[in-house]
Amino acid sequence: GFYLALFLLLVGLIMRGIAFEYRSKDASPKWRNTFDWMIAIGSFLSALLLGAAFANLARGVPIDENMMFTGNLFTLLNPYGLLGGVTTVVIFLLHGANFLGLKLEGELRERVNGFAKKLWVTASVLYIILAVFTYIAGFWARGVINPGFVPVAAVAVLLATGYFLNNKMEGWAFIIVALNIVLTQVTFFSMIFPNVMISSTNPAYSLTIYNASSSQYTLTVMSIVALIFVPIVLAYQGWTYYMFRKRISADKKSLVY
């Protein structure tokens, strides 16, 4: 079940990568429309499955005494999992719309800003519903009445996004939604810690950071690799965004740096 879900997620990511690479190889409208659809489908599939996976991990999945997942793909695509998936899709769309608002000018910027406002309303409603169900399934079910500051802050910053969108402050809107995504992840990992995968069959069958971790040698090597290469990747991405920081319009001359 999880293998198939992860496989489909990777298919979506690969589809996006291929589409971005080949879309500009031909100016034909049919050619570009095909790859536009590939980008849309790949992005939707990846975001949906990622959100569904995290939602299921927060609530718990069927794991037996051998620490093996006993469900299938449709076990993960339950109403709560789909709610998590759809919410993730909409929030990612909002994040992308805010980025477009940073990059565009003129009529295109106005259209994107209007679309982002509608997405913000939808994202806020879905996120609050998901937060309530997650509180019931994740915190309250485990006897935790007070979820703490972080999940409340995650909801608050998402609601605050509307203020920045209404004032056409796309930069702040982009930062705030990014902060919401970070706070959501912090909430998720703090909620399930020290578990990695919670067993809905029996809590004793859950995978934890202790019984599911790699060897000391593997963890050491991967930590060193991450400490070296993650900053390089982040620096490269930051440099790329800085180099292409200029706003663009429908005028082809705006593409010249």
In a domain, 237, yes or no: no
Mean pLDDT per 10-residue section of the chain, whose length is 257 residues: 86 93 87 92 94 90 88 88 96 94 87 93 95 79 71 93 91 94 92 87 88 90 96 93 79 56
- What pLDDT score does 108 carry? 85
In a domain, 158, yes or no: yes
Number of domains observed in the structure of the chain: 1
- The residues near 223 (Cβ < 8 Å, ≥ 6 apart) are none
In a domain, 228, yes or no: no
* Per-residue tokens: 228: 């070296």
Predicted model pTM: 0.88
- The residues near 177 (Cβ < 8 Å, ≥ 6 apart) are 91, 94, 95, 98, 157, 158, 161
In a domain, 168, yes or no: yes
In a domain, 241, yes or no: no
In a domain, 224, yes or no: no
User: Which 3-state string (H, E, C) describes the chain?
Assistant: CHHHHHHHHHHHHHHHHHHHHHHHHCCCHHHHHHHHHHHHHHHHHHHHHHHHHHHHHHHCECECCCCCECCCHHHHCCHHHHHHHHHHHHHHHHHHHHHHHHHECCHHHHHHHHHHHHHHHHHHHHHHHHHHHHHHHHHHHHCCCCCCHHHHHHHHHHHHHHHHHHCCCHHHHHHHHHHHHHHHHHHHHHHHCCEEECECCCHHHCEECCCCCCCHHHHHHHHHHHHHHHHHHHHHHHHHHHHCCCCECCCHHHHCC
In a domain, 250, yes or no: no
In a domain, 156, yes or no: yes
- What pLDDT score does 234 carry? 94
Q: Tokens 């991967």 — which residue? A: 222
Expressed as residue numbers, the domain containing 176 is 2-213
Residue 186, Cβ density class (10 Å: 0-12 exposed, 13-18 middle, ≥19 buried): middle
Residue from 134, 107, 152, 129 nearest 250 by CA = 107
